[in-house]
Amino acid sequence: MPPGSIIGALNPLRNRNAIPEQLFLPTYQNRLRLVGRHLDINDYRSVCILDVEGGILVRAFSPRAHTSELLEFPDDAFVEMVRSSIQARGSRKRARKGSPVVPTGYEDLLRALGWELDQRLAKAITIQENSNSLFVAGLAAGDNATGAFSPFDYLLGEAEVQAMLDAAFARRA
């Protein structure tokens, strides 16, 4: 690069509508954020999330339809979902009445939880929303020499969810 050249966000020639490349990485943080946004916009409740071969499945209750629905978020649609989500930024999201374990909406919660799962190098995760807790399970990278994965599971109550969200908001600040 020539001396004195301007790079990155400071470059006036940069497309202001460009989507940051890191949002296209298929991490749990990015994938679960998209799932959470969809759940918030469509006012779903009582979710169960499964990471399966080829994408993410969600069983969620729709208060409008008074029924549980199966939602599919295929891996091969991820890039287009990112683009659509970015284009929709700024549009008003539905106001969500917070619950003890989803105080600011699913998008915030699942983004923060996705980051935690990425730190564990997790795979094959399950997230079950209960009335006052979240159950999280999956496989975490273990011994690098053998490539083995170890099962994990934990329960997040109100205090743990709030601490996780506070940490996530601090990372974004």
Domain boundaries in the chain? 20-172
- Chain position carrying tokens 């935690």: 116
Lowest mean pLDDT among 16-25, 120-129, 158-167: 16-25
At 12, the pLDDT band (50, 70, 90 cuts) reads very low
Mean pLDDT, residues 99-112 taken together: 93
* 3-state DSSP assignment of residue 102: strand
Q: Which helix (H) or strand (E) holds 165?
A: helix 158-172
Residues 6+ apart with CB under 8 A from 26: 75, 78
CA angle 113, 115, 118 (to 5 degrees): 110
Distance CA 139, CA 156 (A): 17
Secondary structure letter of residue 99 according to DSSP:
B
* 3-state DSSP assignment of residue 116: helix
pLDDT of residue 163: 96
Per the model's pLDDT, the better-predicted residue between 70 and 9 turns out to be 70
